[in-house]
Structure formats: C-alpha cells, structure tokens
C-alpha cells in the first residue's frame, strides 16, 4: 500500500481542530432519559433553497481553490479563499503560511528564448496558466519545439459521471449474498473457540464456549477466550454479609473449584461435550504466601466463615490460580485437531469480604497428546537466556536420594499487591536482563506492630504481609535460579542457590515512647551477576551468582489513628549486573613459524 503524503502543518492543524470538535460531540455523554434517534443535524437555511422546479446552480469543477471549505466566510489559512480579506491573507502569509490551494499550475516549456514569441494562441483560465520558461544559451536549445503539452483544455479529462442507479453505479454497490449458517465441523483448527457445556443452577447444562477470566478495561475480570497465555484479574465480591455468603456457597460461582470440575469440553465442534476437566493437583495458599498440598479427595465447594467481633466474614477454599492444560491430537498435513484431555492445577486461598475482590490468575497451555510432561515447561533460552524472558527459578526438592527443582510457573516473581498486603498471585515477574521493582503494603495496628517487633524476628512483619516467601526459601537454601535459560529441572547442577546477605539479621527493637520499631525488614533487593559464554558472534547469556539483600528500616505507628490499621510500605527489586569479561579471547591457533627450526645436533660432529 502506497504511503500517504504528509499534510502541510496548517492543514494538519485545521484537520486536528475539526476532528477534536467531532470527538467532543461523539464522546459527550447523552442524558440518561434520551431515546435513540437520528444523529444531530445542521439547521437548514430555507432562504438559500431554490423554489420547487427551479434550476440548481451549476457546480464549478475547476477546483482552483481546494482549501476553501467554508461557505460565505473565510477559511483559516486559505489564502485563495475569495471571502478572506486582503489584510487577513497577509496575516496568514506572515504567520504559519497558506494551505495548499490546488494542483500545481500547468506550464508549457519552450526550447527557445522567451523573446522569440510575441503571442501564444492557446486559451488560458483560472485552473491553468500558459507561461514561457527561459531557454539555455547552448546551440541545441535554440530549436523551435514544445517539450510537453499539459493544457487541460486539450489533454485528457474525466467526464462528469451521472448519479443515480446507473449500470456502472449499481455494479459496484450491489449487495453480496448473506452467508449461510456454518455447519459444525468435525475438527478444531487453529484459532477456533472450544465448544463446551457450562453448568447451570438448575442442574442442567448449556452449550457455550470455553472461556477463562481475563482483565477488561480495568483490572476487573471479564470473560475471555481460552487462547490467552496467562492473565490476572480481580473478581469483585459484595460487601454485605448475605450477598457475600451466597456467592461463597454458590458451587457455580467463579470462585468455586466445582464450576471448573462441572464444565465439559467437546472433542470437536460437532461432538457432544463429554471431556471433563480433571483437577490434576490442588494446593492451599496461606496468608504468608506458603503453599501446602490440599486434602485428597474430590473438589469441594468453598466454606463460609461468619463475621466475628474482630474479623469480617471469610470464604475459604476459593480459586486463586488455575493453570489449564489442554491436550490434542492433530493431523500433521491438514492441522485438523481433536481434543484428547483437559486438566487444571489449582491454587486455593481465602478471601475476606473486606478485601473488595478476589485476585485470580489463569493460564492456558496447549500440548500434543503424546508430548511428555517436560515438554510443557517453556524455556527462556537455548541455551543462554533471551533478553526479557522469565528468569527461571524454583525450589530444591529431594526424593529417594535424588535432587531436582520444582520450577515456578512463569519464572521468578517479586512480591506485589496493594491495599491489604502482598498478593502472592499478583507478583511482578522478573525478565532476564530487565531491572524490576515492585511494592506492596503491610496493614498493621500499633499493637500488632509492637507484638511483631517484640517477637525478635526482623522478618515477622514482612511475613505477616505475605511477602517473605522468597526470603524464607532463600534463607533455608531451597530457593534456586536457573544458570541457563534452558536449565533442566531434573538436573540440579544447572541451578544456583540464592544467597542471603547478613542472615540472620539482628533482632528488631521496639521504642514504646516513640511507637517505633527499629531494624524491621522493609523489603529486599535480588542482585544477579550475569556473563557471556561461547562464540562472540553468538554469545550465550547466563546467571553467574544470585544474592538477596534484605533492607532494614524503621516503622512508626501514627498515634492519630487511635488503634486503627496503618499501611507500611514494602519495596522489592531485582537488579542485573554483567561482569567485566574484557575482550573475547581468541580461539585461533598460533601462526606457524616462517623458518622451520632445526635440531641443534643436526650437523654433529662436524659443527
């Protein structure tokens, strides 16, 4: 497609002003009681309308002043507009300049000097000019000729085509045939929505499409197709106890694991949905961000904990994270696919009515039915890290004398959140080579701050806010990061431990008079050393060392809150720094000597 010419600055300015005026009209909210109707119109000047049967004025097609876009009034910066006074035109010319007035004036070129002609017997007009251009002094330029004839009266023109339903007009405006309703296909193809049977409150099911929560314009969850790789959004919860209880106990609400277990997928668009989404694993997330295996058995609906004097109502066992895995069998030649199975790994947590919403993280992965489990874990390089790809991390695991790595989904994430603490499901993921920062808050009353400070554990407030999971794992030696972007979770030798500087820290001290806790951990910074290996033309990036540096600070309780909770800021960061490796080492063999060395006793005993 050819590039559009850039408009002159005054024309762009005029067009932008008009677009802004239109935008204001379109975006202005209509009154609540307004009824749908035709769009707003300009008033009609009936005095300018010709009488019935009268002849309409002829349309001038010369187009000699293309910027004259206003009737009977001066168009800004249009110097050829006859409605613009001479003084205004002079101001236009002295200011931003004139708008383009039309096509360039037509000229006739002559090969002879201009004084050789006394008169040119060709017509002139407003749209074109007959001019003479001076010829050169060389001998060959004195020949009498016309180099080109661009006279519009003599050249090619477009006849004014008739309006109305002529054959030519009807041919290009004919309506196409309405498409027939597509028949269900016997296979899925790339980009198709998955047919599903969605459970209803009556116990029946309704045909629909498989979808997962995704953020809309705001962070609130909206329905979305399952093609999403990963998404995090917030499901609103009602503040009143009765509505909150009804939502918690509803087995088909988005918060319930049963709404997932009761959904069935179709093997192909024409099949009856009969593939159950099996729950492959379920984990419980506590307030500190630690995971524990959920009790064995079939999925259960969330439980409701009523309000107490000191705590709002709580819904336990709600879905905080759902990682779907959909397996298919595809024809390599045509791409036609049949669904083989569907499973989900769940993380369950608790949500309070005071939270205002429940954060839900969802991911959907696709895999061939015959692919091994290891093929479902995306890598961040081959083998070195790619810039911006997730920093591989996990926890050391041991079983039967073997050591492996339980990789984090999505890579390493820093604590993040807001309002009421650090949300383990809404962390800030760290991309290799990209410095990352995040923040969240710890809501504590003065009594709670004093109690945590008196515990002697500098990380107790951070742990109470749910932001100490990575710090605790690193302090115990369980936290690992992948040295390579393709580090194998089955090979612990390709992973590096995360060291913790100055651990354990000194015990915090509580100053009762100042209502201040000194020496509390207010966050941490993860520092990573990186380097390059292999060929200088294709270097491979790797992590060389990882160290977590806790940040110590002081928190002071505000006496004016009279026992109310106060937010205390927590800040986290990940910083990458490349070591100085100097110039790449030469891998060339030494050059051969110019003269082949001879043994010293070659001429013995003569020399």
Mean pLDDT by 10 residues, the chain (607 residues): 43 39 34 60 81 72 77 88 91 87 60 52 46 51 50 63 88 85 82 85 79 65 52 81 91 88 90 89 76 76 89 90 90 91 90 82 86 79 93 93 90 77 73 93 89 92 86 94 93 95 94 93 95 89 96 92 84 94 74 72 72
Clarify whether residues 484 and 567 are in a common domain.
yes
Clarify whether residues 505 and 488 are in a common domain.
yes
Q: Could you tell me the CA-to-CA distances from 238 to 351, 357, 449 in Å, in that order?
A: 12, 8, 30
pLDDT of 26: 33
Clarify whether residues 406 and 343 are in a common domain.
no
Provide the b/e sequence for 260-281 (b: ≥16 CB within 10 Å).
bbbbbbbbbbebebebebebee
Provide the b/e sequence for 361-370 (b: ≥16 CB within 10 Å).
bbbbbebeee
Q: For residue 91, give both structure tokens.
A: 């101001």
Clarify whether residues 403 and 354 are in a common domain.
no
pLDDT of 272: 87
* Domain that residue 542 falls in: 377-585
Clarify whether residues 361 and 381 are in a common domain.
no
Closest CA to 452 of 521, 352, 500: 521
Q: Could you tell me the CA-to-CA distances from 476 to 6, 473, 501 in Å, in that order?
A: 63, 5, 13
Closest CA to 499 of 476, 482, 520: 476
Closest CA to 264 of 210, 333, 338: 210
Residue 115 lies in a domain: no
Residue 337 lies in a domain: yes
Clarify whether residues 436 and 572 are in a common domain.
yes
Within 10 angstroms of residue 606's Cβ, the number of other Cβ atoms is 5
Clarify whether residues 469 and 556 are in a common domain.
yes
Clarify whether residues 363 and 392 are in a common domain.
no
Q: What angle do CA 45, 51, 54 make, to 5 degrees?
A: 125
Residue 412 lies in a domain: yes
Clarify whether residues 301 and 437 are in a common domain.
no
Clarify whether residues 254 and 319 are in a common domain.
yes
* Structural domains of the chain, count: 2
Residue 498 lies in a domain: yes
pLDDT of 453: 92
Clarify whether residues 281 and 384 are in a common domain.
no
Residue 549 lies in a domain: yes
Clarify whether residues 415 and 531 are in a common domain.
yes
386 near 485, Cβ under 8 Å? yes
Residue 419 lies in a domain: yes
pLDDT of 281: 87
pLDDT of 221: 66
Residue 122 lies in a domain: no
Closest CA to 326 of 409, 227, 207, 180: 227
Residue 561 lies in a domain: yes
């Amino acid at each position: 497609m050819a590039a559009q010419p850039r408009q002159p600055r005054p024309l762009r300015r005029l067009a932008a002003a008009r677009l802004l005026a239109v935008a204001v009209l379109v975006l202005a909210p209509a009154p609540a009681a307004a009824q749908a109707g035709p769009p707003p119109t300009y008033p009609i000047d009936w005095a300018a309308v010709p009488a019935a049967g009268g002849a309409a004025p002829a349309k001038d097609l010369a187009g000699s002043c293309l910027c004259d876009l206003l009737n009977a009034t001066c168009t800004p910066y249009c110097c050829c507009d006859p409605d613009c006074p001479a003084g205004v035109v002079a101001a236009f010319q002295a200011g931003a300049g004139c708008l383009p007035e039309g096509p360039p004036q037509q000229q006739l070129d002559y090969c002879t000097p201009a004084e050789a002609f006394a008169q040119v017997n060709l017509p002139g007009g407003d749209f074109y000019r007959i001019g003479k251009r001076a010829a050169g002094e060389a001998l060959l330029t004195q020949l009498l000729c016309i180099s080109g004839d661009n006279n519009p009266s003599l050249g090619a023109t477009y006849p004014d085509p008739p309006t109305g339903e002529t054959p030519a007009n009807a041919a290009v405006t004919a309506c196409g045939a309405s498409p027939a309703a597509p028949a269900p296909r016997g296979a899925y193809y790339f980009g198709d929505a998955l047919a599903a049977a969605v459970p209803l409150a009556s116990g029946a099911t309704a045909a629909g499409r498989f979808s997962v929560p995704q953020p809309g314009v705001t962070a609130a969850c909206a329905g979305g197709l399952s093609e999403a790789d990963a998404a995090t959004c917030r499901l609103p919860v009602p503040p009143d106890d009765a509505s909150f209880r009804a939502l918690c106990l509803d087995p088909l609400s988005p918060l319930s694991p049963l709404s997932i277990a009761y959904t069935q997928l179709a093997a192909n668009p024409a099949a009856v949905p009969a593939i159950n989404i099996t729950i492959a694993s379920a984990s419980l997330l506590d307030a500190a961000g630690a995971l524990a295996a959920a009790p064995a058995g079939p999925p259960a609906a969330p439980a409701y904990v009523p309000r107490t004097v000191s705590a709002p109502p709580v819904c336990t066992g709600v879905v905080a994270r759902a990682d779907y895995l959909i397996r298919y069998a595809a024809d390599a030649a045509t791409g036609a696919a049949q669904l083989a199975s569907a499973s989900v790994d769940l993380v369950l947590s608790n949500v309070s009515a005071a939270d205002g919403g429940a954060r839900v993280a969802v991911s959907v992965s696709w895999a061939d039915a015959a692919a091994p489990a290891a093929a479902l874990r995306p890598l961040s390089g081959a083998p070195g890290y790619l810039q911006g790809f997730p920093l591989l991390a996990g926890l050391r695991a041991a079983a039967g004398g073997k050591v492996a790595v339980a990789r984090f989904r999505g890579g390493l994430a820093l604590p993040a959140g807001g309002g009421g603490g650090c949300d383990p499901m809404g962390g800030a993921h760290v991309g290799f080579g990209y410095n990352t920062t995040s923040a969240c808050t710890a809501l504590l009353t003065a009594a709670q701050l004093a109690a945590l400070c008196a515990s002697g554990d500098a990380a107790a407030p951070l742990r109470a806010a749910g932001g100490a999971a990575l710090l605790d794992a690193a302090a115990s030696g369980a936290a690992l990061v992948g040295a390579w972007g393709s580090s194998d979770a089955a090979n612990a030798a390709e992973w590096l431990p995360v060291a913790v500087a100055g651990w354990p820290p000194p015990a915090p001290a509580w100053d009762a008079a100042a209502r201040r806790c000194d020496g509390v951990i207010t966050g941490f910074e993860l520092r990573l050393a990186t380097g390059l290996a292999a060929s200088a033309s294709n270097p491979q990036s790797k992590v060389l060392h990882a160290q977590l540096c806790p940040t110590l600070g002081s928190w002071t309780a505000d006496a004016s809150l009279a026992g109310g909770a106060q937010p205390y800021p927590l800040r986290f960061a990940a910083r990458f720094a490349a070591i100085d490796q100097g110039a790449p080492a030469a891998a060339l063999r030494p050059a051969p000597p110019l003269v082949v060395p001879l043994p010293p006793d070659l001429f013995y005993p003569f020399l």
